[in-house]
């Protein structure tokens, strides 16, 4: 009876044995009460443990010691105040098994979630892969701030910097560099590919220092009159001269910033009128004007003489310009204007080679009386823009110039 009470006390008090999920096998070590064992073998008495010196009252620190009865090395039972080693090992193994089961269950749940979300994750991965690597798209004001204050101050090729600063065209700037007329930080530079930072480097051309501020990017649509040439020189009848009044007030509009060097995007011959773009953005000009961009241009051609179906077929079949076969995208007659005796044709091309429209018409046996360009990309010449007048383009207009209808 005493042993049964001790076992019950051990089960109810000891922290390791109070857990119902732990199964402890103690028969090999714990003393069993049986009829064959005499009480004389158990010369053991239980006494109340001495109170702890630190314990001043009831609580966990004042709990009595739990007795453990186990056989010693000599095979005789004895009293211990700590659990036997195999009991501690059994408890540790059970706890480890529980942790392992919990971890496996958690992994299985995560795996099921991953399988469920696999299509979504695949779509997200594709979207992430297809995302552009360039600068992120923010608001217009943020992009403008980035272009004017950050992008423009990144190291760029010396010839490009000189052209952007209004010194000369890029080709002329390269010639100035080759001639040794450009110095960077006190040393003569003869390589146009040299990377410079205009905000940090000191650049001189013919002894004149280049401003550390670059003019902003400008874009204008001009209704070119007949007799004006698309030249960046100082000719009195150049398209750039049509913006002289705007440039005269530059110092008041942009104090402390050098005047921009403007040039035309592509060319119209001296007898052709209509839409021409003027800018100081070389990359933009190259993109719009180069034949590889395939940006469409629409022209209205006034024919001197009668136009028949065979003429329209001949124009549609195309012709060779500079040794390259060019074929128009569209050829159609326009409605006759009141009090107008001459026929007008609408011709749309995408390569924009030199004199391309004139060559197409003349190759069909027709004579051009007047030629006017009315559209580039999706941007159409404003109907209220008078001959010889210009209008500054907005961001939406600039984007429409780079795309087709």
pLDDT of 264: 92
Long-range contacts of 156-160 (CB under 8 A, 24+ apart): 156/195, 156/196, 156/197, 156/198, 157/192, 157/193, 157/194, 157/195, 157/196, 158/182, 158/184, 158/189, 158/191, 158/192, 158/193, 158/194, 158/195, 158/196, 158/203, 159/192, 159/193, 160/282
Q: What pLDDT is stored for residue 347 in this prediction?
A: 95
pTM: 0.59
CA angle (214, 380, 142) in 5-degree steps: 35
Give me the CATH topology for the region 140-209: 3.10.290
More confident residue, 86 or 224: 224
Which pLDDT belongs to residue 223?
96
**pLDDT at residue 24 tops 50:** no
Q: CA-based Rg of the chain, rounded to a whole angstrom?
A: 46
Would you say residue 364 has pLDDT above 90? yes
pLDDT in tens, 181-206: 999 999 999 998 899 988 888 999 98
Residues in the chain: 405
Q: What angle do the packed helices 356-363 and 309-317 form, to 10 degrees?
A: 130
DSSP string, 277-288: EEES-HHHHHHH
Q: 187 in helix, strand or coil?
A: strand
| Residue extents of the structural domains in the chain | 1-38+63-108, 140-209, 219-401
How far is the C-alpha of 50 from the C-alpha of 80, rounded, in Å? 16
At 341, the pLDDT band (50, 70, 90 cuts) reads confident
Report, as residue numbers or ranges, the catalytic residues: 269
pLDDT of residue 249: 86
CATH of span 219-401: 3.30.2350.10
- What mean pLDDT, rounded, does the chain reach? 77
C-beta neighbour count of 143 within 10 angstroms: 15
The pLDDT score that the predictor gives to residue 36 is 43
Q: Which residues contact 314 (CB under 8 A, 6 or more apart)?
A: 363, 364, 365
The tally of CA atoms less than 13 A away on the side-chain side of residue 341 is 2
Binned at pLDDT 50, 70 and 90, residue 397 comes out as: very high
């Amino acid at each position: 009876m005493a042993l049964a009470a001790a076992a019950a006390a051990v089960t109810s008090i000891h922290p390791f044995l109070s857990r119902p999920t732990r199964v402890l096998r103690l028969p090999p070590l714990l003393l069993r009460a049986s009829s064959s064992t005499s009480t004389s073998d158990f010369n053991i008495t239980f006494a109340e443990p001495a109170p702890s010196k630190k314990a001043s009252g009831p609580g966990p620190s004042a709990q009595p010691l739990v007795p453990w009865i186990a056989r010693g090395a000599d095979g005789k039972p004895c009293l211990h105040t700590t659990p036997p080693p195999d009991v501690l090992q059994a408890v540790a193994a059970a706890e480890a098994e529980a942790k392992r089961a919990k971890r496996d269950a958690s992994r299985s749940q995560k795996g099921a979630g991953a399988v469920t979300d696999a299509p979504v994750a695949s779509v997200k991965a594709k979207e992430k892969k297809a995302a552009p690597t360039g600068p992120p798209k923010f608001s217009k004001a943020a992009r403008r701030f980035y272009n004017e204050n950050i992008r423009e101050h990144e190291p760029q090729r010396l010839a490009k910097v000189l052209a952007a600063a209004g010194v000369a065209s890029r080709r002329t700037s390269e010639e100035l560099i080759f001639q040794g007329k450009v110095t960077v930080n006190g040393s003569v530079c003869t390589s146009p590919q040299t990377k410079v930072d205009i905000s940090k480097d000191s650049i001189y051309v013919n002894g004149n220092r280049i401003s550390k501020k670059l003019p902003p990017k400008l874009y204008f649509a001009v209704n070119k009159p007949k007799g004006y040439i698309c030249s960046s020189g100082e000719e009195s009848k150049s398209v750039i001269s049509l913006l002289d009044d705007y440039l005269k007030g530059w110092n008041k509009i942009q104090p402390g910033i050098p005047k921009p060097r403007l040039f035309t995007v592509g060319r119209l011959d001296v007898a052709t009128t209509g839409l021409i773009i003027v800018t100081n953005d070389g990359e933009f000009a190259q993109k719009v004007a180069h034949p590889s961009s395939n940006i469409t241009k629409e022209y209205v051609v006034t024919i001197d003489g009668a136009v028949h179906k065979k003429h329209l077929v001949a124009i549609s079949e195309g012709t060779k310009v500079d040794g390259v076969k060019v074929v128009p995208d569209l050829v159609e007659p326009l409605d006759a204007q009141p009090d107008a005796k001459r026929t007008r044709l609408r011709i749309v091309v995408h390569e924009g080679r030199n004199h391309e429209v004139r060559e197409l018409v003349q190759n069909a046996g027709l004579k051009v009386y007047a030629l006017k360009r009315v559209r580039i990309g999706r941007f159409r010449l404003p109907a209220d823009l008078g001959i010889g007048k210009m209008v500054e383009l907005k961001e939406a207009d600039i984007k429409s110039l780079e795309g087709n209808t």
